Homo-oligomer: A and B are copies of this chain.
Amino acid sequence: MCIQHDQEVMHKLFSNIHLPLLDVTAAPPATPFTNKKVGVVFCGRQAPGCHDLVCGLVDMLCSGSAGNRVLGFVGGSHGLFNKHAVEITPELCAAFCGSGGLEMLGRTVDRIKTVEEMQQVRKACLDLGLDGLVLVGGARTNTDAAYLAEYLKEQKVSTAVVGVPCGIEGSMVNEFVEASVGFDSAAKAMAQLVGNTAIDGSSARKYYYFLKLMDGSTTGGKIPTSHVALEVALETKPNLLLLFEEVDDKRLTLRELVHEIAEVVAQRAAAGKNFGTVLVAEGLLAAIPEFRALITELETLPMPSTVDKVLPELTQWSKAIFTSLPDFIQLQLLLARQSNAALQLSQLETERLMAWLVEDELKERRKKGTFKGSFSPVCQFLGYQARCSMPTDFDSDYAYTLGGTAAILVANGCSGYMAVASDLAQPVQSWRVGGVPFTTMLQVPPSSSTETFRPRPSIFPRKVDLEGGAFRSWLDVRKLCAREEMYENPGPIQLSGPSAGRVSSTIATRFSYLQELAKLREHLEAESTRCRPGCDPPHVMVATQSLSTLNSILDELAGPMAATPSIERVQK
């Protein structure tokens, strides 16, 4: 069985894959934590809220308890490797609280992976005497944190490693993690810009705006997602939305995709509308099979390079595609790569390529007389203007809460945990906080026949669920959006007033796994109480039979799966 195999792989790499879930409660702790020294590192990319996270960490550790100190590593992972840290005081926090960016500490590479890097971190933890280390970032950072926690445990270093889910791409989510810090703010900041632009289009009625939306994961990893693009589409109702996941799911070729866009343009032109707004997810091209093949081939070649050098190295298929692309895309494919050798999809002007290809097809249609409109594309990349936005109230609260939770986890020596908060669609007062072991989130990648390396279990970015509520809301309106101007402009992020509390719909519509688990536990307890010794024997019989049936069903559904981790309580 696959699951059997996965368990074996996990067991080999991690000494304890049955750590319990942790619930943090507000009861006074038996022994207040004192003289703790905790380091914090920005490993991921810029996400609104990261400063508030540090504020939460510092406030939880330093207000009320004596002798606790927080060290911030300057310049991210590099700072950690080089033990370049500054003490973060409540005064420093006050200066950065509520602001965007990672200016407080900066960032560099987002990787702690090689043995050498692990050793450097070990040395830093020992030399600085850290009781805890909080890593802030997305799926990759938290995967690294899992391995680091295991490594330090092996090495008998007592520093507790805790991760926090951050990243505008919003893909560091799963059953336990309902949202990634920064997603709400970045999506809203981009929605404001898309809303403005769409209305600009319908005012002058002469441009097609092709807007590419930054998805943090494409600059940080190889697996793109389109959560931001989908959320922005739900907020603004553009004429078209090109999602990585949908194109991937439908296995669309470039020509088919372009044809679909051209159809909408032609349909609108027939109604006298030679304008519109098209949202393009940053990672789109990675979803197109022939393009993906080309990218894979290019990634094996040294870059930067030139067309002449690269062409002989490509297969016939990829060569044909490469030469069919406009010059500007060819050049962009041959740029220098970032540290992980992955192609920088964010540097690829996907939106311009799409506009160029659509224009090409429309020229053909015009020749045949099937298109009589005009087509003036204006291309824009929305990202850098938004990812350092001031955090929304939601992100401020969420990040601050996670910072405080991380503090409690490290102070309690809970290593190998991610700080989480759940029931996020509820008011802050109703949120539940706790820790989830990294091991519950690691997945063993499917092995392939050509595989020569041992599979490395990782936390994978979660893609947009094409069966999920958010995407289905888009399906409900997309036809109308293509034809008409259903544009909505949510306006700038408000920090007070009635709209300040609104949470983005991706987050608000999420199924709360932990909440369901809690309900389940309540039911079990009710059963147990109801059927206590002394109760009516027929009741016990009914209950027993019923539960037995349920267990058989679940066995059938799930196979021999590991049990849900149990829940323990840690206290502030």
Contacts and interface: CB of A to CB of B under 8 A. Distances in A.
Contacts of A390: 489, 491-492
A388 B101 contact: no
Interface of A: 45-46, 75, 99-103, 106-107, 189, 192-193, 196-197, 199-200, 202-205, 207, 209, 378, 380-382, 384-390, 489, 491-497
7 contacts: A196-B389, A207-B384, A380-B381, A385-B385, A491-B495, A492-B495, A496-B497
A384 B378 contact: yes
A198 B273 CA distance: 37
A212 to B, nearest CB: 12
Contacts of A497: 495-497
Given A101-B199, A196-B389, A384 B209 contact: yes
Contacts of A495: 491-492, 494, 497
Contacts of A204: 45-46, 102, 106-107
Given A100-B489, A205-B106, A197 B384 contact: yes
A200 B388 contact: yes
Contacts of A203: 46, 101-103, 106-107, 388
B492 A196 contact: no
Contacts of A386: 196
Contacts of A102: 203-204
A461 to B, nearest CB: 20
Contacts of A205: 75, 106
Contacts of A493: 491-492
A97 to B, nearest CB: 13
Contact of A494 (B381, B388, B492): B492
A385 B197 contact: yes
B103 A193 contact: no
Contacts of A200: 46, 101, 384, 387-388
A196 B497 CA distance: 22
B489 A492 contact: no
A98 B124 CA distance: 55
The 7 closest A-B pairs by CB, nearest first: A492-B492, A101-B199, A496-B497, A102-B203, A193-B385, A200-B388, A101-B203
A489 B99 contact: yes
